[in-house]
């Protein structure tokens, strides 16, 4: 396999920044494997020459785990994009370099089925599915990782030999723990995933058309927007309270609102608007949307009109809410700080949010609240490595900037905002009655910093809760030399 080095015209593109422009790497060389054997060879050569390898699939990492100046060999699997039905495993095989959008497209056009996964079509499945992976359809169908049947991984044994291995969820599979670790353990931990096999947990036939959930026949999206200037602290508080109360009441697995997913965009006042956007599936969609908005938006006393549009699942999935992912959105430096909630925001958290979202600072930022639960909450916390299974909201404080001068005020704002949301638990959402840690697909290295996490609860408990010791055993067995690591990677021993 050809090494792409500094003088190759492809180098600057491949070594260049990916989604989050906050980070840049400078690998000695880059490899573009096209098969599992290529990946084994690539890893073997890195190990033999004592160079640090790292894998990239879709390049949407939110921290600098890939774009890291200490990485010497970048193994980019984005040419490995095969998607097909594997009759032997009675499951869909999806190679790690495929994007989420391409997976949606192939599964829909080929078989009319869907894997419930993330929102942005450009994310790579390689770094996504193994982090749990939630999205627009999670309340109805669960997490992508809940459909993981098997995984093919390239890793390195204690003698330094690279090899590939397949692990499935079959009860008698000796590698079952390795499969389990890929249902929420996160990217860059155990080796390089070359292929996933996906199949519904209850599917046991050989018919591809029923191996995954049927794709929605149609999608109804909704959007509501208010001018920030029409809000005062009281109406803001009511909106956040109503969103939390609705989520608490309607996140059970048997809720009739399971097909509805909604995000409250509490943008900083600088951005001008507060918005709700979401979608529902099925013939009841218009009614569910009306009732959802009547419960949340009506009582605040500000007029609103909802813009409802119907589209096919595929059309939506390949370009969801185009205004969110418009050109330029991926040209920012960004920081995202995520938290799971089991109960709605308290009044003091709402007051904190109001203070930060109306603060007189020149930043672009927001607090996003996404509905959660439904089918996600039907799986027990240890059945997969995605431990948070009774939450009602996933919340994120976000900021982004293009001008380097924006870095300090933006980082300062987002870090302090998040910290002040959790004043009684050391600045982080510790697992307790109200909060439940954070999502590894939205990694935040601050959780490992004593400055920003003063809870005494380590970062790995925030992400993995009681599943961490089990993940450590998988790490010790399958990557004993710790070839694959980053700032928040699983450590074989504490």
Other beta carbons less than 10 A from residue 1's beta carbon: 15
Question: Angle, nearest 10°, between helix axes 347-357 and 407-421?
Answer: 170
Asked if 259 contacts 285 with a C-beta cutoff of 8 angstroms, the reply is: yes
Q: Based on CB atoms, which residue is closest to ligand FAD, 119 or 275?
A: 119
Q: Based on CB atoms, which residue is closest to ligand FAD, 192 or 483?
A: 192
CB of 155 to ligand FAD, least distance (A): 10
Q: Encoding tokens for residue 267? A: 């943008």
Q: Encoding tokens for residue 466? A: 């009681």
Give ∠ CA 412-71-446 in degrees, rounded to 5: 25
Closest residue by Cα to residue 81 from 64, 70, 94: 94
CB of 330 to ligand FAD, least distance (A): 7
What residue is closest to ligand FAD based on CB? 187
46 backbone dihedrals φ, ψ, rounded to 5°: -65, -45
Q: Encoding tokens for residue 185? A: 């353990």
Q: Please provide the DSSP assignment of 181-204 as one string.
A: HTTTS-SSSSSEEEEEEE--TT--
Q: Based on CB atoms, which residue is closest to ligand FAD, 223 or 269?
A: 223
Q: Based on CB atoms, which residue is closest to ligand FAD, 65 or 243?
A: 65
CB of 470 to ligand FAD, least distance (A): 18
Q: Based on CB atoms, which residue is closest to ligand FAD, 108 or 354?
A: 108
Q: What is the distance between the alpha carbons of residues 393 and 480, in angstroms, rounded to a whole number? A: 36
Q: What is the distance between the alpha carbons of residues 429 and 245, in angstroms, rounded to a whole number? A: 19
CB of 102 to ligand FAD, least distance (A): 12
Q: Based on CB atoms, which residue is closest to ligand FAD, 135 or 213?
A: 135
CB of 336 to ligand FAD, least distance (A): 8
Q: Based on CB atoms, which residue is closest to ligand FAD, 297 or 471?
A: 471
CB of 81 to ligand FAD, least distance (A): 12
Asked if 58 contacts 103 with a C-beta cutoff of 8 angstroms, the reply is: no
Q: Give me the long-range contacts of 39-42 (CB less than 8 A, separation at least 24).
A: 39/75, 39/77, 39/154, 39/164, 39/192, 39/194, 40/154, 40/162, 40/163, 40/164, 41/1, 41/162, 42/1, 42/73, 42/75
Q: Encoding tokens for residue 39? A: 């990946």
CB of 53 to ligand FAD, least distance (A): 10
CB of 355 to ligand FAD, least distance (A): 27
Q: What is the distance between the alpha carbons of residues 368 and 279, in angstroms, rounded to a whole number? A: 16
Q: What is the distance between the alpha carbons of residues 356 and 450, in angstroms, rounded to a whole number? A: 23
* Interacting residues with ligand FAD (CB under 6 A): 18-19, 54-62, 65-66, 77, 96, 118-120, 123-124, 126-128, 131, 133-135, 187-188, 192-193, 441-442, 486
Q: Encoding tokens for residue 81? A: 């994009």
CB of 210 to ligand FAD, least distance (A): 25
Q: Tell me how far CA of residue 166 lies from CA of 82, 128, 444, in angstroms.
A: 17, 18, 30
Q: Based on CB atoms, which residue is closest to ligand FAD, 60 or 375?
A: 60
Q: Based on CB atoms, which residue is closest to ligand FAD, 188 or 365?
A: 188
């Amino acid at each position: 396999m050809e090494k792409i080095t500094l003088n190759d015209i492809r180098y600057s593109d491949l070594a260049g920044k990916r989604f989050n422009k906050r980070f840049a790497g400078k690998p000695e060389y880059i490899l573009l494997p096209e098969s599992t054997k290529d990946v084994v060879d690539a890893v073997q050569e890195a190990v033999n020459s004592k160079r640090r390898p790292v894998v990239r699939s879709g390049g949407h990492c939110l921290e600098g785990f890939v774009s890291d100046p200490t990485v010497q060999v970048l193994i980019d699997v984005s040419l490995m994009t095969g998607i097909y039905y594997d009759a032997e495993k009675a499951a869909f095989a999806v190679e790690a370099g495929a994007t989420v959008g391409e997976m949606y497209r192939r599964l829909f056009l080929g078989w009319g089925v869907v894997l419930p996964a993330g929102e942005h079509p450009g994310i790579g499945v390689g770094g996504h599915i193994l982090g749990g992976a939630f999205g627009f359809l999670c309340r109805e169908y669960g997490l992508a990782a809940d459909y993981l049947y098997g995984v093919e991984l390239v890793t390195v044994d204690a003698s330094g030999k690279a090899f590939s291995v397949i692990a499935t969820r079959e009860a008698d599979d000796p590698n079952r723990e390795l499969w389990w670790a890929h249902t929420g353990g996160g990217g860059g931990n155990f080796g390089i995933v070359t292929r996933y096999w996906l199949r519904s947990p209850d599917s046991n036939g050989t018919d591809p058309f029923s191996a995954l959930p049927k794709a929605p026949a149609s999608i109804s999206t909704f959007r509501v927007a208010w001018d920030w200037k029409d809000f005062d602290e009281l109406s803001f508080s009511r909106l956040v309270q109503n969103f939390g109360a609705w989520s608490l009441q309607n996140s059970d697995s048997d809720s009739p609102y399971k097909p509805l997913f909604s995000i409250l965009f509490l943008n900083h006042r600088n951005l001008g608007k507060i918005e709700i956007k979401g979608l529902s599936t099925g013939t009841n969609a218009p009614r569910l949307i009306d009732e959802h908005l009547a419960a949340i938006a009506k009582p605040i006393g500000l007029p609103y009109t909802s813009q409802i549009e119907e589209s096919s699942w595929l059309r939506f999935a390949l370009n969801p809410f185009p205004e969110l992912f418009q050109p330029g959105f991926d040209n920012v430096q960004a920081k995202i700080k995520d938290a799971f909630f089991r109960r709605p925001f308290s009044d003091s958290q709402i007051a904190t949010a109001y203070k930060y979202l109306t603060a007189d600072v020149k930043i672009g930022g927001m607090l996003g609240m996404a509905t959660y639960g439904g089918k996600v909450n039907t799986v027990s916390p240890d059945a997969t490595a995605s431990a948070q299974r009774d939450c009602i909201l996933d919340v994120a404080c976000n900021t982004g900037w293009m001008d380097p001068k924006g870095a300090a005020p933006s980082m300062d704002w987002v870090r302090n905002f998040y910290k002040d949301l959790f004043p009684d638990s050391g600045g982080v959402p510790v697992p307790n009655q109200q909060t439940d840690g954070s999502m590894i697909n939205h990694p935040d290295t601050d959780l490992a910093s004593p400055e920003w996490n003063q809870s005494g609860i380590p970062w790995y408990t925030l992400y993995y809760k009681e599943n961490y010791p089990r993940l450590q055993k998988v790490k010790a067995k399958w990557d004993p030399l710790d070839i694959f690591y980053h700032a928040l990677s699983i450590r074989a021993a504490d």
